[in-house]
């Protein structure tokens, strides 16, 4: 399981030195801060304490929980610059993207503070007889295994609804963002979350299976690779514990012949370059009907060219480093292997001669099955253009993937786009004429190898509740007395 979960800890440059995690600045390759690891005995003790804290927290009111979660939102906004800088230092996120991520976390906290009571309100059911209703009880202690690419958002996406539902949480974060992981704990404790109710555990991946099997842990949520998802699902299944998995994606965008090509190219570039291309829901395959493919290739190259590499600490930088040199080298190999198998390189595709994990915005055309750019998830700034004969062929190509997270349709006819998005694409999310993104107000998750279960919205908060049916009938008066 250790090797599989490293895909979540991930492609990390964090160096394991004895009992420490050593971070590395992706922009420079220089070592950053180091953090002490936690022993497995301490992790099990934290789980026991968190379970005890949950037993008290579940008895609090929605108003009490909301006050704490809203305060967390306020603290996030107050510390936005500091937290954004931490992301830049540990995984290379641009400072602008880091600030936006913290703001999104704050909005998410406010949303669930305001709406959890509605999402989890008792639901009356008319069964034609006694009183019947559905109620949502907290499940217990949730283990969250989280990745590095959105180190605050991924964690808060899980923790805000979990706390509002009355659950506790343990966070096992990726090994290259330990400072972010501890900062999340600090924000929540400062906001008033009981110290034992939420804990960050700086443990290696080899300890995750044992923690899943700890009797104090009720369920697990993971965002990460397919391999990591399989490992966590296997461990959870062996002890019959629920898990929610948000895994990889190879999001396809259909570019139809009636689309405004320049506008479509800008949306495609925005979709591809989310977080420097290091996002499960980044657009990765652009399936273009052949009638407009040459024009779209030129327009996409120009749109992607605008994402110049620059210092991630500087405002206005659009493309920072990849999260590690190892990850950058994997991306480059996928590009070169694709070109060797017939893809055309239209832009980028060369490793810069400079320290750090840099890779330029890259565009590949003539992408076909058998090439890594077509068959695999490329976790970096590489756009793949795939030719289709017509709408039906484009839908076939889009669905011919092991993944099913996000998808898009770029068309001049919104009704046409609505039909394709709603009825034809095998994905958990489908957006028409805009780039795919997560939102606290809408369910988020995938199908096929992109995982199962949902986060966000009413569906997300209910994932880690006991959805209980209750019947209530008045006891009929007995005839006579016990002495007769």
Query: Which residues does the annotation mark as catalytic?
Result: 246, 280
For residues 304 and 361, the answer to whether their CB atoms sit within 8 Å is yes
For residues 105 and 152, the answer to whether their CB atoms sit within 8 Å is yes
User: What residue ranges in 264-414 does DSSP mark as E strands?
Assistant: 283-289, 344-347, 362-365, 382-388, 406-410
**DSSP result, 172-204:** E--TT-HHHHHHHHHHHHHHT--TTTEEE----
For residues 306 and 318, the answer to whether their CB atoms sit within 8 Å is yes
**Burial environment of residue 41 by CB neighbours within 10 A (0 to 12, 13 to 18, 19 or more):** exposed
For residues 265 and 300, the answer to whether their CB atoms sit within 8 Å is yes
- What does each C-alpha distance from 413 to 286, 395, 420, 453 come to in angstroms? 18, 16, 11, 32
DSSP-assigned beta bridge partners for residue 408: 253, 431
User: What residue ranges in 315-381 does DSSP mark as E strands?
Assistant: 344-347, 362-365
Distance from C-alpha of 38 to C-alpha of 47, rounded to nearest angstrom: 13
**What is the CA 138 to chain-centroid distance, rounded?**
23
H helices of 79-94, in order, are: 80-91
For residues 254 and 351, the answer to whether their CB atoms sit within 8 Å is no
For the chain, the farthest-separated pair of C-alpha atoms sits apart, in whole angstroms, at 99
**What is the CA 459 to chain-centroid distance, rounded?**
16
CA pseudo-torsion sign 458, 62, 173, 145: negative
DSSP-assigned beta bridge partners for residue 288: 255, 387
Coil, helix or strand for 76? helix
Please name which of 182, 173, 183 lies closest in space to residue 148, comparing C-alpha atoms: 173
Phi/psi at 306 (5° precision): -70, -15
DSSP-assigned beta bridge partners for residue 432: 409
């Amino acid at each position: 399981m250790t090797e599989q979960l490293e895909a979540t800890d991930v492609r990390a440059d964090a160096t394991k030195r004895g009992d420490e995690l050593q971070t590395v600045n992706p922009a420079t390759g220089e070592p950053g801060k180091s953090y002490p690891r936690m022993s497995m005995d301490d992790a099990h003790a934290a789980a026991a304490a968190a379970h005890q804290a949950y037993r008290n927290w579940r008895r609090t009111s929605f108003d009490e929980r909301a006050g704490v979660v809203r305060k967390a939102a306020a603290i996030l906004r107050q510390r936005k610059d500091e937290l954004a800088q931490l992301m830049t230092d540990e995984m290379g996120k641009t400072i602008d993207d880091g600030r936006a991520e913290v703001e999104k976390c704050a909005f998410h906290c406010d949303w669930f503070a305001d709406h959890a009571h509605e999402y989890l309100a008792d639901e009356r059911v008319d069964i034609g007889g006694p009183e019947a209703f559905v109620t949502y009880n907290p499940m217990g202690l949730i283990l969250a295994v989280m990745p590095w690419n959105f180190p605050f958002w991924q964690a808060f996406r899980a923790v805000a609804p979990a706390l509002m539902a009355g659950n506790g949480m343990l966070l096992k974060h990726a090994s290259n963002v330990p400072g972010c992981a501890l900062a999340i704990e600090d924000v929540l404790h400062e906001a008033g979350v009981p110290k034992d109710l939420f804990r960050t555990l700086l443990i290696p991946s080899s300890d995750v299976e044992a923690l899943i099997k700890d009797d104090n842990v009720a369920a697990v949520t993971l965002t990460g690779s397919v391999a990591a998802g399989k490992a966590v699902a296997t461990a959870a299944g062996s002890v019959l514990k629920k898990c929610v998995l948000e895994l990889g994606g190879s999001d396809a965008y259909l570019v139809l012949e009636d689309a405004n090509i320049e506008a479509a190219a800008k949306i495609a570039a925005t979709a591809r370059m989310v977080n420097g291309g290091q996002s499960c829901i980044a657009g990765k395959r652009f399936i273009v009907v052949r009638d407009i493919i040459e024009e779209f290739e030129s327009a996409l190259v120009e749109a992607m060219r605008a994402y110049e590499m620059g210092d991630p600490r500087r405002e206005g930088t659009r493309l920072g480093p990849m999260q590690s040199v190892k990850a950058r080298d994997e991306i480059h190999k996928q590009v070169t292997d694709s070109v060797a198998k017939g893809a055309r390189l239209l832009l980028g595709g060369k490793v810069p001669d400079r320290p750090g994990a840099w890779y330029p915005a890259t565009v590949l055309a003539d992408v076909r099955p058998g090439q890594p750019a077509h068959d695999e998830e490329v976790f970096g700034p590489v756009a793949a253009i795939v030719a289709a004969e017509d709408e039906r062929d484009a839908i076939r190509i889009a669905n011919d993937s092991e993944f099913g997270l996000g998808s898009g349709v770029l068309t001049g006819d919104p009704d046409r786009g609505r039909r394709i998005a709603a009825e034809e694409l095998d994905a958990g999310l489908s957006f028409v004429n805009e780039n795919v993104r997560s939102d606290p107000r809408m369910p988020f998750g995938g199908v096929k190898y992109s995982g199962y279960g949902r986060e966000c919205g009413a569906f997300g908060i209910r994932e880690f509740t006991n959805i209980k049916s209750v019947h209530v009938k008045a006891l009929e008066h007995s005839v006579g007395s016990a002495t007769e």
